[in-house]
Amino acid sequence: MPDYGPVPAASVGPALNADGYFVGRVEGNLSSVTDGYYQAMFLATREGVVLVDAPPTIGRNLLRAIDDVTRVTGTPGQVTHLIYSHSHADHIGAASLWGKNVERIGHTETRRLLRRAGDPNRPAPTTTFDDRMVLHVGEERLELAHHGPNHAPDNIFVYALRQKTLMLVDVIYPGWAPFKNLAVSQDIPGWIRAHYIAMSYPWRTLVGGHLGHLGRRADGETQQ
């Protein structure tokens, strides 16, 4: 008798390659990359790559995944912008891989928390915003918004307009339940409210930051 039942087929994410990652097209030139536990996403624009999050478990495989995609699209493989969903090391602990020649974008509170942490693996954002920011790179547009504290005080919503894709980390867990203590969230009423705010965006795909799966509307409705 096993201690645990098997993971249901519907919860298993995409198969990983020999290097331990999967990179797949979300929509158009927007791709997501996962190691089965964590997720990042990136836009391959004609002016360079915009990466959202850099989980240390994926680490250098992020470079490989970006190479895989930009070799096919023929767009520059250099990461020009790195957006932080929030300050937690498990989602951005590989952020130092891109050195000084990248614009680091995050919430004002993310910068405060990272300056305090003094972690060389998580350089503080160079560009910050309080409520909203629209990032235009090449032909693309990303809408960043802070709707108040939820999982973390600085957790932001990143919406790719043309791709109808929302990245919101540590709130919705497609095919799974949130891990212990509601994903170790700090503001529970805010975390619950974040589900309703997420569903108010017209997204078709959700990048939740964890596990292998991308989310569909039904995943958000289920967890809501």
Calpha distance 193→189 (Å, rounded): 6
| Residue 88 vs 122, nearer CB to Zn ion | 88
Minimum CB distance to Zn ion, residue 198 (Å): 15
- What's the min distance (Å) between Cβ of 147 and Zn ion? 16
Residue 126 three-state SS:
coil
Q: Which stretch binds Zn ion (CB under 5 A): 28-36, 47-55, 164-172, 213-221?
A: 164-172
In the bound complex, what is the minimum distance in angstroms from residue 75's beta carbon to Zn ion?
30
Distance, in Å, from the CA atom of 33 to the CA atom of 66, rounded to the nearest integer, reads 9
Least Cα distance to 158 among 86, 58, 80, 77 occurs for 86
Determine if 170 is a binding residue for Zn ion (CB under 5 A).
Answer: yes
> Binding Zn ion by CB under 5 A: which of 43, 79, 88, 207?
88
- Report how far residue 4's alpha carbon sits from residue 45's, in angstroms, rounded to the nearest whole number: 44
Question: How far apart are alpha carbons 147 and 90 in whole angstroms?
Answer: 22
Find the residue with minimal CB distance to Zn ion: 88
Site size toward Zn ion (CB under 5 A) is 2
Q: Which stretch binds Zn ion (CB under 5 A): 88-96, 119-127, 130-138, 196-204?
A: 88-96
Helices (H) and strands (E) in the chain, counts: 6, 12
Q: How far apart are CA 194 and CA 189, in angstroms?
A: 9
Least Cβ distance, residue 77 to Zn ion (angstroms): 28
Check residue 210 for interaction with Zn ion (CB under 5 A): no
Q: Which residues contact Zn ion (rule: CB under 5 A)?
A: 88, 170
